[in-house]
Amino acid sequence: MVHSDRNVYPSAGVLFVHVLEREYFKGEFPPYPKPGEVNNDPITFNTNLMGYPDRPGWLRYIQRSPYSDGVLYGSPTIENTGKPTIIEITAYNRRTFETARHNLVINIMSAEDFPLPYQAEFFIKNMNVEEMLASEVLGDFLGAVKNVWQPERLNAINITSALDRGGRVPLPINDMKEGVYVMVGADVTFSSCLREVEAPQNQLRCSQEMEPMITCDKKFRTQFHIDWCKISLVDKTQHVSTYQEVVRGEGILPDGGEYKPPSESLKSRDYYSDFLITLAVPSAVALVLFLILAYIMCCRREGVEKRNMQTPDIQLVHHSAIQKSAKELREMSKNREIAWPLSTVPVFHPVTGEIVPPIHPDSYDNTSMPLMQTQQNLPHQTQIPQQQTGGEYRMTTFQRFEVNGIPEERKLTEAINL
């Protein structure tokens, strides 16, 4: 890391531009290990006021890519005169990760003609800020302004990117530019060409997003595309704007003063009360709610007996029958080779209402009777008892058939001994 000082002497209220050339800092880094190769390392810069993390409020910095030069620019204020401003410039080599530091000492001088009373701010649509900061481009623009204004003294006061004014990043098509605001000052009043923007027909065209008719626009159009609807004319002698009601100022950023960090001797703070409020109080409320819920759920239950006492008998019988049938079906699913369930056999005659005895007694071994007769099971007939007129029972025979693989029972014969 190499330290060196370089002094510059800008004037207050006049645009200051300082280029950080990559070629100047290449000598601080070792060359490529292979001889004959061109040293084109990517280099980036970091700038800050000595002893502070950032630059002064009036000073800006821009660098588009690690392979382009960096630029420091801004307009110093009259409050900064008389004391040097030391800017630390740190260059980073992105290939070797080495650094080199230089100090730039800015000695701001007071200007006799500061501030110039008549100031005009132009918005140039086809330029970026780093392109406008080039000395030859800025000189061409000041020359064009001098031709249409004809002042004795003309200075560039400030340059601001449109992105710093709330503009959007342009689309990467047709080589579009972000635009730049350029403020200039002169010692004579505005020319008739510049005042043409105040004409009612031009203001109407601007409100309709149309370009106004300016006679001197052709003197800029060859190199600079100016948006005449965004021009600002400020007359410092009257402290009012001759075109816009809102005065944008001199284009100089206000100085926020020096940064004052907090004192190192900070008093200790007791967080016990904060702990009680944050954790203890919500925990106590949650415990009370838990106890109330536990009392309601455990100590206020009515019980099954009370529920059955308040339930009608017929509803209990239905519920019991449903439970019994469900239990029987679950037992049947364990073994398919069992007798027909009693719930599927009619227990009374649908016409007379007389009780029909079951197919088999309780002592009968029902495990040998299949749940459903198939063609392989013999016999192929199933008999169901039906009561005759004289009180005797007769057997009705059903034959099992299969239609398209689906068993179907049809009545074949009636009871024997008719």
**Do 70 and 91 meet the contact criterion of CB atoms below 8 Å apart?**
no
Say yes or no to pLDDT of 117 above 80.
yes
How do residues 66-107 score in pLDDT, each as one tens digit? 999 999 999 888 887 888 899 999 999 888 888 888 899 999
Mean pLDDT of 58-71: 91
Domains with residue ranges and CATH for the chain: 1-111 (2.60.40.10), 115-252 (3.30.70), 338-418 (no CATH)
In tens, the pLDDT along 137-169 reads 999 999 989 988 988 888 899 999 988 888 888
If 0-12 CB within 10 Å is exposed, 13-18 middle and 19+ buried, where does residue 90 land? middle
Question: What would the pLDDT profile of 192-235 be if each residue is shown by its tens digit?
Answer: 888 888 888 988 998 888 888 888 888 888 889 999 998 988 88
